[in-house]
Amino acid sequence: MNFQQLTYIVALDDHKHFSDAAFACDVTQATLSAMVIKLEKDLGFSIFDRSTKPITTTELGLEVVARAKDILSKKNEIDQIGQTVPQSLSGKLSIGVIPTIANSMLRSVLPSLIAKNPNLKLTIKEITTNEIIGQLKNGSLDIGIAATPLNEKNIDEEIMFYEPMLVYGISDKKKKFVVNDEILDEKIWLLEEGHCFRDQVSTVCKLKENRDDLQNLKFEGNSFETLLSMVDQFGGFTLIPELYYAGLSPGLKEKSRMFQKPIPVREVSLLSYGPSRKDLTIQYLSAFIQDLIEPELSTSKFQNKDLRIVGLY
């Protein structure tokens, strides 16, 4: 069963004649007749009584035609939505991206976004989640990209993808994955306060505020590169998002492992402010980014039950 067959039976119900219905659908009578017969065969009953002149719709056929009209109406509504989403963007657009997403996602998205939208004047700001929220509300920013859910009043969230978190600092090359409990009592290197990824790592690793650092060193990093170097120098572990992992050298990848299921993931969304939402731009960007990013993520290999969304607080 397909939309074309539904269109044919609705036309035939309206015109009561094969040649008139075929003319209305701009196909040959033979084509329309063959498609209707195939649909009736698939359903196991006749939709039309061909022994009458003009032909009549059977009792079961009337129900099928009614459902077909409803389906075609819904299809038309969906088609109209699709037609309103722009094929490209133009004008000025400012986007705020949190650092732990910007350092890995932008390299995959920006080149294609710029190339396919030559009339777009794009401004990218690498800022914190709180700064994104503030600038969305005061109008100096159009769209934000951050980890969610934020549960922030009047800030709309359009979920794009779920990104796994990996452990860096594994020396055992035979180890295939990390069990959460294995690192609970180990030194975990963290980003500085203000990074939402820090809060998510603290949740995954069940860290306490008064957790001890090295005896004479307290350190909070501002980049994943620095955290990895601290792990290499002093031991312990740190957590990194999968898109960042994808850009690592083979040697550094060897020290990284996925968690055992359920795998902790962060939710990444487009943010917009209610009174000044750019719905069509949001739809375009969401689809554009998903098409580029999802093939790089392992989440497509897992079921929902295999993932654990890590909140921010």
pLDDT in tens, 205-220: 765 544 445 555 667 7
Query: Quick one: pLDDT at residue 83?
Result: 59
Q: In terms of pLDDT, which residue wins out, 313 or 57?
A: 57
In a shared domain, residues 173 and 36: no
List the CATH number of the domain containing 19. 1.10.10.10
Statement to judge: residues 245 and 99 lie in one domain: no
What's the mean pLDDT in 103-129?
93
Which residue range is the domain that position 178 belongs to?
163-264
Do 277 and 148 share a structural domain?
yes
According to the model, what pLDDT value does residue 210 have? Answer: 40
Is 311 within a domain? no
Q: Are residues 247 and 272 in the same domain?
A: no
The answer as to whether 292 is a domain residue is yes
Q: Say whether both 119 and 239 belong to one domain.
A: no
Residue 194: which region, alpha, beta or left (left: phi > 0; alpha: psi -120 to 50)? Answer: left
Q: pLDDT (tens digit, 9 = 90+) per residue, 16-46?
A: 999 999 999 989 999 999 999 999 999 999 9
Instruction: Verify that 194 and 244 share a domain, yes or no.
Output: yes
Instruction: Look at residues 45, 64, 84 and tell me which one is the last residue of a structural domain.
Output: 84
Domains contained in the chain, number = 3
Within this chain, do residues 201 and 260 fall inside the same structural domain, yes or no?
yes
Residue 238 · residue 168 · CB < 8 Å: yes
Same domain, 257 and 169: yes
Same domain, 157 and 291: yes
Which 3-state string (H, E, C) describes the chain? CCHHHHHHHHHHHHHCCHHHHHHHHCCCHHHHHHHHHHHHHHHCCCCEECCCCCCEECHHHHHHHHHHHHHHHHHHHHHHHHHHCCCCCCEEEEEEECHHHHHHHHHHHHHHHHHHCCCEEEEEEECCHHHHHHHHHHCCCCEEEEEECCCCCCEEEEEEEEEEEEEECCCCCCCCEECHHHHCCCCECCECCCCHHHHHHHHHHCCCCCCCCECCECCCECCHHHHHHHHHHHCCEEEEEHHHHHCCCHHHHCCEEEECCCEEEEEEEEEEEHHHCCHHHHHHHHHHHHHHHHHHCCHHHCCHHHEEECCCC
Of 84, 108, 127, the residue at which a domain comes to its end is 84
How many angstroms from the chain centroid is the CA of residue 60? 41
Residues shown for the chain: 313
Provide φ and ψ at 271, rounded to 5°.
-115, 145
11 or 221, higher pLDDT: 11
> Domain check: are 70 and 127 in the same one?
no
Task: Tell me: pLDDT of 160 over 80.
Answer: yes
